[in-house]
Amino acid sequence: MIALRATDLSKTFTPPKPLFGAAPPGVRAVRPMTLEVAQGETLGIVGESGCGKSTLARMLVGLLPPSTGEIEIAGEKLGVAGPAVFGKRIQYVFQDPISSLNPRKTIRDILETPLKRLYGMGREERRKRIAEILASVNLRESFLDRYPHEFSGGQAQRIGIARALAASPRIIVLDEPVSALDVSVQAQVLNLLADLKTEFGLTYLFISHDLAVVEAVSDRVVVLYFGAVVEIGPAERIFSAPKHPYTRLLADSAPVVGRTLTAPEQKGTELPDPLNPPPGCAFAGRCPRATDLCRSEDPALTDHGDHQLAACHHPLED
Amino acid sequence: MSRFLKLLFRNRLAGLGAVVLGAIVLLVLITPLLPLQPPNVTDTANRFLPPFSEGHLLGTDHLGRDLLSRLLYGTRLSLAVGVAAAVIAATLGSAIGIVAGFYGGRVDNVIMRGVDMLMAFPYILLALAIVAALGPGLLNALIAVAAVNVPFFARNIRGVTVGLAHREFVDAARLAGMSNARIILVEVLPNVLPVIVIAMSTTVGWMILETAGLSFLGLGSQPPVADLGSMLGEARSALITNPHTSIVPGVMIFLIVMSVNLLGDGVRDALDPRLRSGALARPKAVTDVRREGAVPQTPQKGLLDLQELQTQFHAGGRVFRAVGGVSLHVKPGECLGIIGESGSGKSVTALSVMGLVASPPGVITGGAVRYDGTDLLSEPYEGLRRRRGRNVAYIFQDPQATLHPLYRVGDQLSEAILSHHAVSRAEAEKRCLELMRAVRIPNPGSRMRAYPHELSGGMRQRIGIAMAMANDPDVIIADEPTTALDVTVQAQILALLDDLRRERGLAIVFITHDFGVVAQLCDRVAVMYAGRIVEEGRTDDVLALPRHPYTSRLIDCVPELGGGKRRLEAIPGLPPMVDDLPPGCAFAPRCHKARAECTAGEVDLGVTGDRAVRCLYPEDAPKREVAE
């Protein structure tokens, strides 16, 4: 069963039109992309800064209206319904646990809001529900009357997760949920997320720049580059047998114990200019396999077997 | 609240303001109960009586009215009008500011251009125009003063709201089903309230003055009712002959405005989180050194040798033992990794080397830092300054924060060279180009004239490395230099650092939390926990066969690429706070092997060969294959 389907979703940020002259071209943060996430699946989304992963996530939860395309959750087209309609179906866990909690509200206020606003629960019902949620994220009820600054990063992130759970969504978008945490705490939160997923039958979209973390938690992984999907595949294969040269570059760049230090890319290359995108494949400028075809024609996402799709004219062989 | 009052009264002048203002407010509140003569009854026979006359403590004015009575009633009126105007201006202005800042875009544009137009008029002209349109009278003066001050609040509050409207908790509130109006009231308003209070406390004195000004011109309170401004206005003609009639209201205005402003500044300092966290205290150019024990006299190992270093932070009556006796050394051409979680003291250790820990609150309380034979902690400031950058240079995590945003990167690089070498500008520029080539920046000639924001994160960190290399240091201390960068860029920066140390024989101290990075770059590694080294050794040995339970479990926490989907081994609990360390081993409360002896007393760092471990029951079973 499909939990979430995004069809031709794209976002172009248009700068304000100047008083004189023509409107400047917009920045295409996310180029039209189609994604499907199955019920109960964890879809990892990786990419470097500026690849459009946060823009995509904000569109999926309804915080940002898409320029084109449609979002369908559990077979229901949501259109531009606004965050409150999305909120009951899909929730968001933010990267920075402390700044995602209002410093002037108690934890109880924070957790009660979705229960009151989305479900109109009464006082007694809310108390019971909050007790349940706190128990499932391993937090004590005595924390309820405290303020966010009294918590460590790991605890604050649990509160962020509890708030997302309070809305009883089917899908949770996790936007770099552990990258602000220490490694010993990071594992605690990742394991908690795995437990919650089985307990509540959730579907996750897990965004991160840390390939090892994404691989450890995901069923399938999407690799984004310059606002477009360059490769989708099963987590256990995508980094060990990548089809797209960019995926391989990412995998080779990740520091791994026991691998000697080499810079996989010696040229000081940078991302293409979003205001002036190159024709053809956006990665061609950095790609050792690029040909004239790559520099003129944008490759489409094609199936390379084993559920692995890559957008490349010259995919890597196994 | 009590904390706020304590902070407020620590500022003596603010305390004085509070006392004076409190006395005045109390006096005018009980004025109707005092046995005063009626303020508006004329007695021309007794006009211009001097102060201390019988029955008239402060004398009388040109119509023989009692000045004390008029003064108190007038102050009452002036204060009430001033405060009311401030409240009205703050409410209206803040509402406008919040709406403009929250919605942004066109709403913001329309509102703020309107506010700008209001601000373009000289305020007194605007107030006069309003009073002229509405007619003279105290109420109209109040409206005028409030209207004139609305733009000030609107602009201030809009700025704060713009910052808040894009915070993540506002997005979270949207997803929790809140409407925009509710978000403004429940999420945004409580966060801007302190700013509104600060803005009000610093402007209310000004508004009292403005009201007095309008009354002085005869546009405010109408005779015979007195307020401070009209009293001054009426006394103007007798300024030379009977100065006391002017001095009495003048002194009162002075006292009110002075005390309000002193108190307002105090309130601002006590409420402003930036000032509260000690931004007003200027750190010294070098960390305080107050060594409690004797200076260690152990012979020096390596080029840079930290011996039993202890650094503490003394703040708010508490002592944070950030670094609790750390010994480390690094040889030329060697790379030493320091690994640890946040709060483990790894950065403070690094900053202590060149006396860069902010003092106050930082103090180095013990140990020695030996560089090529000299103890840097005993070095006077001038000597240390000459060594900074030339002997030991730093690379920091966030080059965006360490580069000055308003200077071109080439100029900043030249400055680093010129501060140590007396060479010409052209010479320095030539050296800049060399350095930028050495750190592999493409087109160094044009990049020199770029501002930091025009460069990508990786390029900025290259500039940071070039700056560290500018004076050919022997030791580079790199504090998480790649944490803020993307993996592909990180790989390039790490390769660059590795090349530099091999080509030039640099000693590198590399601080990180990432085992993968340590494994690839460092020859030796020290693991820190709660301000102390718990394990040290050759990188390959430590990673393959960790002996301290903390190291072993920390390695298990970190997922490695190529492991597939799996459950991770977490360490329960949290690292301890360094102002309240448990006795004995700091890791014992989280350790599955802990026994009573672990918390009984100090656990020493046991050294065998080039391995060291601070544990009573170290792991000795060979660890599973790393690539499992």
State the nearest Cα–Cα gap between B122 and chain A, in angstroms: 29
State the nearest Cα–Cα gap between B194 and chain A, in angstroms: 11
> How far, in Å, CA of B341 to CA of B590, rounded?
14
Segment A49-105, tens digit of pLDDT? 888 888 999 999 988 889 999 999 988 888 767 778 888 999 999 988 888 999 889
> How far, in Å, CA of B66 to CA of B43, rounded?
9
- In-domain check, residue B303: no
| pLDDT over 80 at B46, yes or no | yes
User: What pLDDT is attached to residue B448?
Assistant: 87
B228 and B85 in a common domain: yes
| pLDDT over 60 at B556, yes or no | yes
Return the residue in B346, B487, B527, B569 with the most chain A beta carbons within 10 A, the one to mutate for interface testing. B487
Nearest by CB to B561, which of A209, A217, A254?
Answer: A254
What's the average model confidence in pLDDT over B602-615?
88
Which is higher by pLDDT, B9 or B19? B19
| pTM of the complete model beyond 0.80 | yes
> How far, in Å, CA of A207 to CA of B91, rounded?
42
Alpha-helical (H) ranges within A39-152 are 53-60, 83-87, 107-119, 123-136
Nearest by CB to B175, which of A83, A256, A264?
Answer: A83
Return the residue in B161, B175, B456 with the most chain A beta carbons within 10 A, the one to mutate for interface testing. B175
- In-domain check, residue B340: no
Confidence of residue B161 (pLDDT cuts 50, 70, 90): very high
ipTM exceeds 0.95, yes or no: no
Q: What SS3 state is found at B498?
A: helix
| pLDDT over 90 at B25, yes or no | yes
Comparing A276-285, B292-301, B391-400, B498-507, the range with the smallest average pLDDT is: B292-301
Confidence of residue A313 (pLDDT cuts 50, 70, 90): very high
Percent of residues, chain B, with pLDDT higher than 90: 35
Confidence of residue B419 (pLDDT cuts 50, 70, 90): confident
Residues of chain A in contact with residue B182, where contact means CB-CB under 8 angstroms, are 117
Nearest by CB to A216, which of B492, B554, B565?
Answer: B565
State the nearest Cα–Cα gap between B169 and chain A, in angstroms: 4
Residues of chain A in contact with residue B560, where contact means CB-CB under 8 angstroms, are 212, 256-257
Instruction: Provide the domain count of chain B.
Output: 3
Element (H, E) at B3: helix B2-10
Comparing alpha-carbon positions, the chain A residue that sits nearest to B169 is A100
User: What pLDDT is attached to residue B162?
Assistant: 92
State the nearest Cα–Cα gap between B607 and chain A, in angstroms: 25
Segment A234-290, tens digit of pLDDT? 998 999 899 999 999 999 888 877 777 776 665 556 667 777 788 889 898 888 888
Cβ–Cβ gap B486/A235 under 8 Å: no
> How far, in Å, CA of B166 to CA of B187, rounded?
12
Segment A194-217, tens digit of pLDDT? 999 999 999 999 999 889 999 999
Note down the domain range covering B603. 538-613
Residues of chain B in contact with residue A191, where contact means CB-CB under 8 angstroms, are 567-568, 570
Nearest by CB to B167, which of A99, A152, A265?
Answer: A99
- In-domain check, residue B506: no
Cβ–Cβ gap B558/A259 under 8 Å: no
- The first and second tokens of residue B467, run together, are 């700056």
- In-domain check, residue B587: yes
| pLDDT over 60 at B278, yes or no | no
> How far, in Å, CA of A164 to CA of B216, rounded?
61
State the nearest Cα–Cα gap between A264 and chain B, in angstroms: 7
> How far, in Å, CA of B260 to CA of B17, rounded?
6
Q: Which long-range contacts (CB under 8 A, 24 or more apart) does B42-45 make?
A: B42/B224
State the nearest Cα–Cα gap between A212 and chain B, in angstroms: 4
Cβ–Cβ gap B177/A48 under 8 Å: no
Cβ–Cβ gap B167/A61 under 8 Å: no
Longest dimension (CA), chain A: 67
User: What pLDDT is attached to residue B609?
Assistant: 84
- Is A43 in contact with A221 (CB distance < 8 Å)? yes
Segment A109-118, tens digit of pLDDT? 999 999 999 9
Nearest by CB to A253, which of B491, B496, B557?
Answer: B491
- The first and second tokens of residue B487, run together, are 């993996």
Which is higher by pLDDT, A144 or B201? A144
Confidence of residue B627 (pLDDT cuts 50, 70, 90): very low
Give the number of beta-carbon pairs within 8 Å between A and B: 214
- In-domain check, residue B358: no
Segment B441-455, tens digit of pLDDT? 888 888 888 898 888
A245: number of CA atoms within 13 Å, CB side? 18
> How far, in Å, CA of A228 to CA of A280, rounded?
12
Given B472, B500, B526, the domain boundary residue is B472
- In-domain check, residue B10: no
Using CA atoms, how far residue B364 sits from A68, A135, A204, B295, B564, in Å, is: 60, 44, 48, 12, 46
Confidence of residue B623 (pLDDT cuts 50, 70, 90): very low
Name, in order, each residue with C-beta under 8 angstroms of B346's C-beta and a sequence gap of 6 or more. B338, B339, B340, B479, B511, B528
User: What pLDDT is attached to residue B624?
Assistant: 46
Q: Where does residue A48 rank: exposed (0-12), middle (13-18), buried (19+ CB within 10 A)?
A: buried
Mean pLDDT taken over chain B: 87
Residues of chain B in contact with residue A213, where contact means CB-CB under 8 angstroms, are 559
Residues of chain B in contact with residue A166, where contact means CB-CB under 8 angstroms, are 176
- Is B86 in contact with B203 (CB distance < 8 Å)? yes
Cβ–Cβ gap A268/B565 under 8 Å: no
Comparing A14-23, B311-320, B503-512, B605-614, the range with the smallest average pLDDT is: A14-23
> How far, in Å, CA of B61 to CA of B38, rounded?
13
Nearest by CB to B492, which of A154, A236, A265?
Answer: A265
Alpha-helical (H) ranges within A223-282 are 235-238, 245-253
Longest dimension (CA), chain B: 110
Which is higher by pLDDT, A17 or B18? B18
What's the average model confidence in pLDDT over B451-478?
88
Given B472, B491, B518, the domain boundary residue is B472
Which is higher by pLDDT, A44 or B626? A44
> How far, in Å, CA of B298 to CA of A92, rounded?
56
Using CA atoms, how far residue A57 sits from A208, B525, B593, B604, B605, in Å, is: 11, 39, 43, 50, 48
Residues of chain B in contact with residue A217, where contact means CB-CB under 8 angstroms, are 565
Q: Which residues of B165-186 are buried (b: 16+ CB within 10 A; e: fewer)?
A: bebbbbbbbbbbbbeeeebbeb
Nearest by CB to A184, which of B179, B491, B554?
Answer: B554
Segment B258-271, tens digit of pLDDT? 999 899 888 877 77
Cβ–Cβ gap A94/B190 under 8 Å: no
Given B449, B472, B495, the domain boundary residue is B472
What's the average model confidence in pLDDT over B75-88?
93
State the nearest Cα–Cα gap between A305 and chain B, in angstroms: 19
Region of B537 (left: φ > 0; alpha: ψ -120 to 50; beta: rest) is: left
Segment B137-148, tens digit of pLDDT? 889 999 999 999
Nearest by CB to B178, which of A117, A182, A262?
Answer: A117
User: Highest-confidence range of A48-57, A179-188, A219-228, A262-271, by mean pLDDT?
Assistant: A219-228
User: What pLDDT is attached to residue B39?
Assistant: 86
Comparing alpha-carbon positions, the chain A residue that sits nearest to B179 is A84
Boundaries of every domain in chain A: 229-254+275-317
Nearest by CB to A63, which of B174, B517, B559?
Answer: B174
Segment B324-371, tens digit of pLDDT? 889 999 999 999 999 988 888 899 999 999 988 888 788 999 999 999
Nearest by CB to B627, which of A183, A258, A266?
Answer: A258
State the nearest Cα–Cα gap between B563 and chain A, in angstroms: 7
> How far, in Å, CA of A149 to CA of A144, rounded?
13
Residues of chain B in contact with residue A263, where contact means CB-CB under 8 angstroms, are 491-492, 494-496
- What is the CATH classification number for the domain harbouring B120? 1.10.3720.10
What's the average model confidence in pLDDT over B503-521?
90
Four-CA torsion A82, A85, A88, A92, nearest 10 degrees: -10
What's the average model confidence in pLDDT over A134-157?
89
Return the residue in A250, A256, A271 with the most chain B beta carbons within 10 A, the one to mutate for interface testing. A256
State the nearest Cα–Cα gap between B232 and chain A, in angstroms: 46
B266 and B154 in a common domain: yes
Strands (DSSP E) contained in B285-377 are: 288-289, 304-315, 318-330, 335-339, 362-371, 374-375
State the nearest Cα–Cα gap between B106 and chain A, in angstroms: 10
Strand partners, B304: B330, B371
